[in-house]
Structure 1
Amino acid sequence: MIFFRFIFLLIITSHISVAQDNGIKSKFSQNVLREDFDEQNLIFPTTTESNGKYSILIDKDGYYGLGSGNSEYPLLIQWKNDLNNFELKTSIRLKDESEWETVQKIQGQTGQIFGLLLKYNPDNQEALIFQINGVRQYRLSYLRNEKMRHLSEWKDSKHIKRNDANQIKIRTKDNNYEFYINNQFVFKKNLERYNDVLTNGNFGFYLGKNTQAMIDYIYISTEKEYNGINKLLNLSQSDAEKIIAEKEKFKIDLQNKKKEEIEELTNVIKILENELKNTHQKIDSLKFENHQYEPFKNIINENGDFMLTLTKDLKYQIEQNQILKNNNSKLLDSISILINKQEEFKLEYLNVLDRMMQNTDTTNTKKDTIR
């Protein structure tokens, strides 16, 4: 019996060795993307949505945080990719699962799900997705027109760590794929039948519902013969040191700028606090003045028609004054007319006297002549 077990293990071991010997032999020695999340990088989107989805880059702690909320969350890296053959390395950690793993499996639960999007083509919406979950399982799926076709069902793996970080490595050459978890080979897949659609495409992440994950780093490399758009420059030691020095200077300048902005913000806060203090003083002063008018308020409250009556009386007095002014004007006009008539009468009277005097003189003259 022991002999048969030994033979069985030998056969299994030889199969694994043969499988790995027939694996991808290429050396992916040329780095094209290395991200440790120790500074902000625009190719990794940052957003916070009201539905619970988020993507944040915490450079001080060196990780990229993702959350899906109550629905699945695909997120593409804003990095134009022209690679067909490459090696991708990353380290991800799912949020600790609250339930026991055995209970989750018995209930058919997967826990949280994290996936890596490979070769996503936006024109035909096709991509590969390699996923792991919170109950230490993995699977490979093919995405087409927003529909998932599983190329393998969920498979248990003792190499996946629960409630801990997991390193994932994916190697592909001519649509042959190898998958490693925590430096252990788990399986490989030949997808040459998808050569027409699985060409170079975008990288990204694909989170299941109610999933939170932290990504510690992501490295992408390819064969040394690669000379495409993502080829990094080969710098001399002095040039590299110069760039590093400039980068450090930029960091220092950025820190100083942040410090200045903080000081300016502190000064603005002090100004606002003083203005708020002055506002409170004005409010207290107005309250004091309002207190002085409390008696009038009581009078008005006791007689709700006080203001209305006062307004009506004031209006009546103004109207009476206007009438008096009009009457006074009329009287003045009448007096002026009387004065004019009196003057005319006086003038007429004087004219009559003058004529009478003239007649008297004429009569006297005639008398003297007769004599």
Structure 2
Amino acid sequence: MTQMTEKDCSISVITLVKLAKEKIMTKNFIKICLLLSLVGQTYAKREIVKISNLNIATNKDGGTTLGKLSWTDFNVDFGGNIISANNQGEPLNGSFSINDQKFNAKLSFATYKTELSVDNPLITLDHLHLKDAQVNFDKDEMSFETPSLKIGTNNTTVSAKSLKGSCDPKGDPSTDIDIVCLSNGDLKAQQAQLINDTINILTNSFKAYITPATIAIDASKNVFSSNGADTLVAKLKADCSNGIRTRFNIEDFISGCLKESHIALDGFSQIKEVPKLQLENKELANLQDIKYVKVDINENRFFLLSRIRVLFLVNLKVSGEIEHLPEDEILKLKISKAYIAGIPAKTLTLSILQTFLEEDSIQIKGDTIYIAL
């Protein structure tokens, strides 16, 4: 087996074109270049990569991650010089393994080895599917577009339809695209969904705007599913302080949101039957009675304002402290004050919240709400 490194794929454009004309370059060499584009990209003045039907499937065997790679079409534009590889619509295949951050790949006649950083997303990747994905790299912009995306990692699956992203590398084309986009990026999707053991959220017209200071989200027709009940929220807007400094880390993200964030939900309705709060055998409130919910967080203190119908429309105000327990993967909200129509009503407020919130991932004990992440 021939050992190939990133330097081998950094051959000048002139040499690549010459090799292609002499028919020395094969689809196997293209396979190596594609794999290198995933684990440690080599950049020219302008690089455009188009990958069709890319699939990565991995499984864990002890401390080793084993993976398979396939795609049907691959195009690269190195400063206007285009290189293409396909197999008449049939998949091109490869395999790789990751152990102690060491990446080893086999692609036909060659092998490739490199060492990954401890936070490289390839290490925890379970599966990935991209369809007709196009990724563009240069010093002024990193952008990507795909009709469909599905990624699974750490028991969490994220999927999107008609996903587009545009990110600003601030003049450095060699920076990893995920790090760039989590600092300066705009994302849009016709539909996006997040599913794990505790959350199932489907959003439409999803938009995210990211700067070094703020992460902002805007979405419509949001469906929250839990315990067989589907709740539709017509509008969702949220913004948090951006606590992420490199690659995505849930603790950094939550830390930023607990420093300062604003969340607004408007237009509640039920798709499937949900429980209703009863008081002396009379219906007190149901989901349609919630007109809106707004939450402000500042330095781990939260303030919730809502307008609900409890026999008649009244304002609901709740305040308290919020704490992240990373070891238990829990958010802890301790309610200190609660008012309905300006009247202290902590017990009644907790009863209403328990009706709408309590499920497998959200538990209310006394005056404290526990949310599993």
| TM beyond 0.5 | no
Higher relative contact order (CA 8 A, sep 6+): 1
Comparing both structures, which one devotes a greater share of its residues to strand?
Answer: 2
Normalised TM-score (structure 2): 0.22
